[in-house]
């Protein structure tokens, strides 16, 4: 009744000629520059923007830009999330390169950026704003739980959703076509079903570790400390399902950004001789010292094993003296740090020049770079090949374009590397409606067009001299 009363009042004010702007305390605007620093121009009025949505990158002054959005956990409960900032840099680097090449169809790209603070409900609010108020045709999202939640906003609105870090197996069977022929949720990362297989095979000695001078002894008892969300639950399930003797594996679950004491107690009781940390750096930086303090330590026969979410230099920094616990520890992540690969090397060189940071020290930086190029190439397909009659760039049309980036089985197509040197050539072929093959900085990206995901080799990395060193690449089992 209250909402109805306010609506009636607003209609009465308008019909009487009274300014709704004055009566409601709102200011009229043409663009957001007419509003204050904490407001945005929406439907002709200055309205508060969602918390965290204070960045706009790309061609901010371009006429008729193609609007994108990004919901990224640039901060978390511990403060600035350096790993997410570096992934964001991967998105920005590709965006800048595409705009320097004049975008697609004469239109450049602008991207609204919201810091989710690693809060799923906040991310959903921000996604709704970018879709409904800013008209974004595609959104980038980080993290499995957040991306799944945001898909509830984007899919019904026919907005493409692309993730560079979501690895949950839930995406493989996600209902995301909204009545169309192509799914609207895509990712440059493989499913954690594959990472679970890789980890379990390494731990059991099925996949030998090729680390000269080091002999890896398979553990007898494996603990998995995992975050209670779609990422952690799925990864734990994949690991323990592949180890035959279930009595030798136990899980220690905790909620993100909450107490880890229950998980530590579980590990103390189980007495593992190797513990997998399947969670995020800010939680692992609290869990490991607490576990060490209660006897789950290298000195007492425990070893640590990292997953993709913890390939982050800030984890080592935040552990302080406990950093020594991870000396020589191994971990896995979808492969990106491949210095001998020409596509990755070009990306890494440009990244280091732009941001003075080695992208190989953080997981998924290359996957973020690739994600932006994929979306912009999908947009090129959407525009079409008639300069006098460009087609609208929509989520479904971008998704249809993504299906043109991997040739059908048994067919061949010209391969283009994702990056500044071959973008314009790939763009023009796609505008003609033809199929190409792409190689990303993160790998081959041979997509399954039904699921929107591609398999990937994994890197086995090692903590050495306060940095991450790639030991070897592992192709995940197909079973």
CA–CA separation, 352 vs 345, rounded Å?
A: 10
Are residues 77 and 198 located together in one domain of the fold? no
pLDDT tens, position by position, 430-458:
999 999 999 999 999 999 999 999 988 99
Specify the pLDDT at position 21: 46
The answer to whether 144 and 168 are in contact (CB under 8 A) is yes
Are residues 204 and 159 located together in one domain of the fold? no
Q: Which residues span the domain enclosing 254?
A: 193-338+457-474
Judge whether residue 224 has pLDDT over 60: yes
Query: Edge-to-edge strand order for the sheet containing 109-115?
Result: 55-58, 109-115, 66-72, 138-141, 160-163, 185-187
Specify the pLDDT at position 7: 37
Domain for residue 178, yes or no? yes
Are residues 60 and 146 located together in one domain of the fold? yes
Specify the pLDDT at position 466: 94
The answer to whether 131 and 154 are in contact (CB under 8 A) is yes
CA–CA separation, 177 vs 456, rounded Å?
A: 24
The answer to whether 447 and 453 are in contact (CB under 8 A) is yes
Are residues 82 and 142 located together in one domain of the fold? yes
Could you count the other beta carbons within 10 Å of the beta carbon of residue 319? 19
Q: Any idea of the CA torsion for 414, 420, 452, 234, to the nearest 10 degrees?
A: 130
Please give the average per-residue pLDDT across 30-59, as a whole number: 81
**Residue 255 half-sphere exposure, CB side, CA atoms within 13 Å?**
3
Specify the pLDDT at position 303: 98
Specify the pLDDT at position 442: 95
Domain for residue 449, yes or no? no
- Token pair recorded at residue 299: 């000195």
Domain for residue 479, yes or no? no
- Token pair recorded at residue 259: 């107490």
Reported as a pLDDT band with limits 50, 70 and 90, residue 25 is low
Are residues 410 and 334 located together in one domain of the fold? no
Specify the pLDDT at position 222: 98
Q: Is 78 exposed, middle or buried (0-12, 13-18, 19+ CB in 10 A)?
A: middle
Q: Which residues pair with 333 in a beta bridge?
A: 459
CA–CA separation, 420 vs 451, rounded Å?
A: 27
What percent of the chain stands above pLDDT 90? 85
Specify the pLDDT at position 46: 82
Specify the pLDDT at position 8: 36
The answer to whether 291 and 267 are in contact (CB under 8 A) is yes
Q: What is the largest CA-CA distance in the chain?
A: 85
CA distances to 107, 109, 111, 162, 420 from 61, in Å: 12, 10, 12, 25, 22
What percent of the chain stands above pLDDT 70? 93
Are residues 203 and 258 located together in one domain of the fold? yes
Are residues 65 and 184 located together in one domain of the fold? yes
Reported as a pLDDT band with limits 50, 70 and 90, residue 15 is very low
Are residues 208 and 181 located together in one domain of the fold? no
Residue 74 is classified by DSSP as -
Domain for residue 237, yes or no? yes
3-state secondary structure of 302: coil
Judge whether residue 14 has pLDDT over 50: no
Domain for residue 12, yes or no? no
Reported as a pLDDT band with limits 50, 70 and 90, residue 49 is confident
3-state secondary structure of 14: helix
Judge whether residue 99 has pLDDT over 80: yes
- Token pair recorded at residue 99: 């705009």
Are residues 44 and 163 located together in one domain of the fold? yes
Are residues 309 and 394 located together in one domain of the fold? no
Are residues 249 and 156 located together in one domain of the fold? no
Domain for residue 350, yes or no? no
pLDDT tens, position by position, 226-283:
999 999 999 999 999 999 999 999 999 999 999 999 999 999 999 999 999 999 999 9
Specify the CATH number for the domain of residue 398: 3.40.50.2300
Quote the number of domains for the chain: 2
Domain for residue 467, yes or no? yes
Domain for residue 26, yes or no? no
Judge whether residue 9 has pLDDT over 50: no
Q: Name the average pLDDT for the chain.
A: 92
Reported as a pLDDT band with limits 50, 70 and 90, residue 42 is low
Are residues 174 and 210 located together in one domain of the fold? no
């Amino acid at each position: 009744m209250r909402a109805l009363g306010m609506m009636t009042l607003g209609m009465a004010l308008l019909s009487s000629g009274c300014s709704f702007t004055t009566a409601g305390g709102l200011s009229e605007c043409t663009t957001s520059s007419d509003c204050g620093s904490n407001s945005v121009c929406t439907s002709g009025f200055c309205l508060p923007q969602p918390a965290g949505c204070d960045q706009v990158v790309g061609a901010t002054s371009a006429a008729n830009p193609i609007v994108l959005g990004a919901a990224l956990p640039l901060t978390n409960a511990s403060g600035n999330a350096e790993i997410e900032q570096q992934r964001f840099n991967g998105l920005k680097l590709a965006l800048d390169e595409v705009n320097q090449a004049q975008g697609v169809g004469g239109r450049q790209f602008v991207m609204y950026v919201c810091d989710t603070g690693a809060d799923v409900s906040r991310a959903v609010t921000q996604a709704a704003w970018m879709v409904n108020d800013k008209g974004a045709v595609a959104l980038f999202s980080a993290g499995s739980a957040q991306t799944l939640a945001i898909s509830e906003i984007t899919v019904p609105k026919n907005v493409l959703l692309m993730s560079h870090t979501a690895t949950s197996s839930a995406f493989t069977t996600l209902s995301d076509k909204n009545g169309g022929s192509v799914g609207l949720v895509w990712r440059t990362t493989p499913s954690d079903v594959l990472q679970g297989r890789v980890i379990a095979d390494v731990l059991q000695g099925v996949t030998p570790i090729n680390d000269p001078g080091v002999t890896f002894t398979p553990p007898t008892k494996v603990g998995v400390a995992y975050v209670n969300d779609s990422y952690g639950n799925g990864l734990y399930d994949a690991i323990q399902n592949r180890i035959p003797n279930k009595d030798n594996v136990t899980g220690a679950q905790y909620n993100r950004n909450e107490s880890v004491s229950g998980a530590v107690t579980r590990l103390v009781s189980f007495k593992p001789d190797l513990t997998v940390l399947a969670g995020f750096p800010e939680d692992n930086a609290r869990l490991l010292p607490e576990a060490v303090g209660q006897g789950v330590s290298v000195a007492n026969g425990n070893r640590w094993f990292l997953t993709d979410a913890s390939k982050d230099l800030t984890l080592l920094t935040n552990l302080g003296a406990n950093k020594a616990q991870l000396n020589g520890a191994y971990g896995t992540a979808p492969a990106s740090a491949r210095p001998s690969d020409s596509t990755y090397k070009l990306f890494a060189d440009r990244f280091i020049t732009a941001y003075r940071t080695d992208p190989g020290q953080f997981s998924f930086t290359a996957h973020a770079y690739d994600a932006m190029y994929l979306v912009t190439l999908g947009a090129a397909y959407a525009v079409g090949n008639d300069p006098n009659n460009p087609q609208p760039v929509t989520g479904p049309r971008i998704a249809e374009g993504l299906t043109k980036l991997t040739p059908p089985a048994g067919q061949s197509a010209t391969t283009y590397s994702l990056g500044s040197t071959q973008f314009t050539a790939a763009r023009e072929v796609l505008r003609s409606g033809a199929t190409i093959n792409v190689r990303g900085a993160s790998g081959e990206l041979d997509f399954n067009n039904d699921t929107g995901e591609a398999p990937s080799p994994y890197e086995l990395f090692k903590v050495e001299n306060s940095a991450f060193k790639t030991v070897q690449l592992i192709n995940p089992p197909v079973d």
